[in-house]
Structure 1
Amino acid sequence: MGYRVAVVGATGNVGREMLNILAEREFPVDEIVALASRKSLGTECSFGDKTLKTKDLDTFDFTGWDMALFAIGSDATKIYAPKAAAAGCVVIDNSSLYRYDPQVPLIVPEVNPDAIEGYSQKNIIANPNCSTAQMVVALKPLHDRARIKRVVVSTYQSVSGSGKEAMDELWNQTKGLYVPGQEVEPSVYPKQIAFNVIPHIDVFMEDGSTKEEWKMVAETKKIVDPKIKVTATCVRVPVFVGHSESINIETEEFLDEDEAREILREAPGIMVVDKREAGGYVTPIECVGEYATYISRIRQDGTIENGLNFWCVSDNLRKGAALNAVQIAELLGRRVLKKA
């Protein structure tokens, strides 16, 4: 016996990935429905070898459905998630709406699976921000061994994190630079993204940080340990898919780079590719379509007593969004619903 699953926002980048991953991982589905806004009604979406036609989210009745994977913005989620939850359908939400709600668990299954028990307070589970998700998968096993005191992270985030329009903007700007008279002015981003980097993701806050940077701080504390100090600089780069991060950690206990490498090799969800030679590391283009979070360039930071540096790369549409949501659904099924 399987589950009745709804994918909400099925026509978007993340929604389509959710359908792909549910099929790839052979999630035990008895019935699945693709939901979208009325303007996308009837749009076809792939689910394995099946084709689904989207149904209208506005009129859909969630009664009798086991779980709904939401991949719509916070404004729409605020309307529809409580309706689904009230109907007895567990919501796994990819937006930022519920991440900081103390009554809603924020989960990365490799890191804090026990938090799943808190879902029943609102019948909602939150999926973390894409940049946080891959980082905490790497932080947790190192924290368990040596207690992380401080994290300094700089991100190099692909345009797919901003949606299809941003991917189109990068593509069209790149082409336009080679064709006189066809230059494309920025619309999604405040500056040209083609052949450029933009140290600005989400809105600016009073202290000078951006909300994306604030999210990494708040979410790491909620998922891993509230005592960890985090400072982040988040940068948009002209890459279509795949987020990269340069991470520096300071630990309470000394952790040798060789031991850290072995700890990460054994950790769930991680692949270590760390050869000190040309090409002996992973770049975002190589992680596209993969489930793992890749770690490279592990080395001691000699400027502090107990410090390590490493490079972290992941497919942001997968581990940063759709894959993590499906992993939460799997965890929910194993630990709570137990139908399959």
Structure 2
Amino acid sequence: MTKQYTVAVVGATGAVGEQLLRMLEERDFPIKQLKLLSSARSAGTKLAFRGEEVTVEEATPDSFKGVEIALFSAGGDVSKALIPHAVEHGAVCIDNTNAFRMDPETPLVVPEVNADQIANHKGVIANPNCSTIQMVAALKPLQDRYGIKKIIVSTYQAVSGAGARAVEETLRQTREVLNGNEVNPEILPVGSLPVKHQIAFNAIPQIDKFQENGFTLEEMKMIRETKKIMGDDSIEVTATCVRIPVLYGHSESVYVELKSEYDLEEARSLLASAPGVVLQDDPSQQLYPLATTAAGRPEVFVGRVRRDLNEPKALNMWIVSDNLLKGAAWNAVQIAEIVAGRNNG
């Protein structure tokens, strides 16, 4: 008989929380009891799960009594405050924030890349940044076959990565521009910073706050997390992260320099057979990954695979995935399935 689990979802009313519930339901995750937790502001909200209404409760340190698996997606401060209590109560916590990702004691996991690290957890498993997840899932087969020396990535990230209010702002600004009205940005690029920029019909080369080295925190997340997930600090990684007026689905232009010579058709074959990856790469038919195709789907899509013109050991590719699914909720549920001893194929 399959073991049933008491599961908590923290941040259940948010954009990722909504997708977590969807994936738990679609995967028929073995849930005995589901606890939906959020801020006091959202407590009392009723959400549908498996045909029934579940009332959202305020998340407190005592909310985790009896909880065996807790999925966190309510912001880093909430994770830092509550995860220690959840672990104390015996829960395995899968955290979708930046709070524990670079903690050396915490596995940072993309199941297609380093599922073996899950067994090393001490109560917390970190879900990587959305833009990192899709890139490393696509690059893993190339790393295994050839080794990777250098990665240069530019991202074109959907506004849903900044939350539901950013989606609403993008739609509102689009209407304002089309109607010839004044645009008053309120959310992007960073809600907590004073300067705001129009996102409609624009590209903003800032995601998260700038660091002392001139890179944004989002860019530094990609750099640090890639090395940790792929288990190789020697990989040279640089990133430029850009917000564009797309609602769902992050796109990435990736240059990867391998450690050895490669056969292009073999590289394409490796990508096509990689778990969780869909190769869409037929220039003659204008077939390549699109955010509109990836939205709502859990896979990572790869295309525009081509040999670099200057470096014979390098290739270029285009990687697209739904940032709320593989970039967040689906990756977390995959980890939860492994924790629960299920085949997550």
TM-score, with structure 2 as normaliser: 0.94
**Which amino acid letter does the alignment assign opposite residue 93 of structure 2?**
V
Paired residues of 1:244 and 1:284 also in contact (CA < 8 A)? yes
Give secondary structure in 2 for the equivalent of 1:192.
coil
* CA distance, structure 2, for counterparts of residue 234 and residue 252 of structure 1: 25
Counterpart for residue 234 of structure 1: 241
- Specify the SS of the correspondent of 1:234: strand
CA distance in 1, matches of 2:283, 2:215: 34
Give the structure 2 partner of residue 14 of structure 1: 16
Map of 2:124 onto structure 1? 124
Q: Distance in 2 between matches of 1:187 and 1:63?
A: 36
* Distance (Å, rounded) in 1 between the aligned partners of 2:9 and 2:47: 11
Identity %: 47
The one-character-per-residue Cα deviations of 1:298-330 (angstroms, maximum 9, x if unpaired) are 111121130111110000000111111000101
Please name the residue that 1:251 is paired with: 258
Instruction: Tell whether 2:81 aligns with 1:79.
Output: yes
The one-letter amino acid paired with 1:265 is A
The code of the aligned residue for 1:65 comes to V
Residue 198 (structure 2) pairs with residue 192 (structure 1): yes
Q: CA deviation at 1:186?
A: 4.1
Indicate whether 1:216 and 2:222 are aligned: yes
Residue-by-residue CA offset, 1:153-198 (whole Å, 9 max, x unaligned): 0000000000011111101100011224453334333311000000
Q: Number of residues paired by the alignment?
A: 334
Q: What amino acid maps onto 2:124 in structure 1?
A: I
Map 1:157-172; keep pairs closer than 5 Å.
Answer: 157-172=157-172
- 1:65 match: 67
Farther-moved stretch of structure 1 (270-279 vs 131-140): 270-279
SS at match of 1:294: strand
C-alpha distance in structure 2 between counterparts of 1:126 and 1:328, whole Å: 9
User: Is there any run of 5+ residues in structure 1 with no aligned partner, and where?
Assistant: none
| Match of residue 207, structure 1, among 203, 208, 213 | 213
2:193 is matched with: none
> How far, CA to CA, are the matches of 1:24 and 1:61 in structure 2?
25
Question: What is the DSSP-based 3-state SS (H/G/I as helix, E as strand, rest coil) of the residue aligned with 1:277?
Answer: helix
Q: In the alignment, is the contact (CA less than 8 A) between 2:183 and 2:198 conserved in 1? A: no
| 5+ long unaligned stretches in structure 2 | 190-195
Q: Does 1:144 align with 2:144?
A: yes
By how many angstroms is 1:107 displaced? Answer: 0.5
1:283 aligns with 2:290: yes
Deviations 1:281-300 (A, max 9, x none): 12001111101000011111
Q: Does 1:327 align with 2:298?
A: no
- The alignment partner of 2:227 has SS state of helix
Looking at structure 2, the residues matched to 39 and 325 of structure 1 have their Cα atoms a distance apart, in angstroms, of: 25
**SS of aligned partner of 1:188:** coil
- Cα distance between partner residues in 1 of 2:151 and 2:19: 30
Q: Which residue of 2 aligns with 1:54?
A: 56
Mean alpha-carbon deviation: is it higher for 256-265 or for 326-335? 326-335
Q: CA deviation at 1:279?
A: 3.2
Letter in 2 for 1:31: Q
> 1: distance between equivalents of 2:182 and 2:27?
43
Provide the rounded CA distance (Å) in 2 between the counterparts of 1:95 and 1:227: 25
What corresponds to 2:95 in structure 1?
93
The one-letter code sitting in structure 2 at the alignment partner of 1:203 is: K
SS at match of 1:177: helix
Once residues 45 and 288 of structure 1 are traced to their aligned partners in structure 2, the CA distance between those partners, rounded to angstroms, is 22
Greater shift after overlay, 277-286 or 264-273? 277-286
